[in-house]
Amino acid sequence: MSEQPYKQPPITEAVIELRFATAIEADDITKVSAALKPLYPLQQPIRGIEVRLNVPPPGQQGVTAAHETHGSRLSTEDQTQIVLAWPAQFVFSQLAPYPGWDVFFERFCRDWAAWKRTLGYRKITRIGVRYINRIDIPATAPIIEHEEYLNIYPHMPTELQSLMAYSVVAQLPLPDIGCILTLNSSSAPSQLLGHAAFIVDQDIGKDDDPPQSDEEIYALLNQIRVKKNEVFEACITPRARELFKPCQV
């Protein structure tokens, strides 16, 4: 199969994420944002709030703790290439149109090298790759039968009517590459008039002893790339493939 098997791949977003054992300071986020400024001219501060609620035994008062995290969002002028710099995360994102793995991976290597030149080595605790696919299907009937296009969907008793909406989440080990696959399939609104849409969202990550050297990181990412293609092909039917216009090999 060619590097880009489909003329119109249904990928809406591709992500590579690195998580670190220790958080970097706000000044370091400023430094790495400045280093990437020539590549990502649009930059804005972002923040996230994590709320933890401790539910006590009856008669005792609960405790709510909120933790605020500050980061930076960097993007190209067309906002299809995005980097999120968080204290303990570095996230690379490519929105549609997806240019293919070679271009996406080359960009990751470039930006990762710039991150390390600026901040030095940080221990990595997770390496993950996520691909979100939206399959738009012409709505020729009031209800689109998902099993005609997907091999992952909920099984319902025959006594119940056809589904109008659904969501399925599964987690599976991938022992051959030492990773965990989190697979989500769901119905979704289509952005195309007269269409229905299904989501195939897969996250493949390695949390257990992830590689630390560039050579091993790059090797793992390429293994994940092969596996995510296998997973996607296993999740769709020939009728779905017709929608993407396969390339001639």
pLDDT band with cut points at 50, 70 and 90 for residue 189: confident
Domain boundaries, the chain: 11-49+66-244
Across the range 57-70, mean pLDDT stands at 64
Q: Is pLDDT of 163 > 80? A: no
Average pLDDT over residues 198-215: 97
Q: Three-state DSSP class for 2?
A: coil
Tokens of 135: 């399959």
What is the model's pLDDT at position 1?
40
SS3 169: strand
Q: Is the pLDDT score of 204 beyond 60?
A: yes
Q: What are the beta bridge partners of residue 199?
A: 134, 186
**More confident call, 40 vs 60:** 40
- Give the closest residue to 84 by CA, choosing from 42, 131, 134: 42
For the residues 128-154, what does the mean pLDDT come to?
Answer: 85
pLDDT score for 137: 87
Q: Is the pLDDT of residue 52 over 50?
A: yes
Instruction: Report the percentage of the chain scoring pLDDT > 90.
Output: 66
Per DSSP, which regions of the chain are E strands?
11-20, 42-54, 63-75, 81-86, 89-95, 124-138, 167-174, 179-188, 195-206
| Angle, vertex CA 47, rays to CA 46 and CA 48, nearest 5 | 140
pLDDT of residue 14: 98
Q: Tens of pLDDT along 103-131?
A: 999 999 999 999 999 999 999 999 999 99
Q: Which residue has the higher pLDDT, 217 or 136?
A: 217
Burial of 180 (0-12, 13-18, 19+ CB in 10 A): middle
Give the relative orientation of helices 101-119 and 214-235 as an angle to the nearest 10 degrees.
150
Q: Is residue 136's pLDDT more than 70? A: yes
* pTM to 2 decimal places: 0.88
Question: What pLDDT, on a 0 to 100 scale, did the predictor assign at position 2?
Answer: 42
Q: Give the pLDDT mean for 35-45.
A: 96
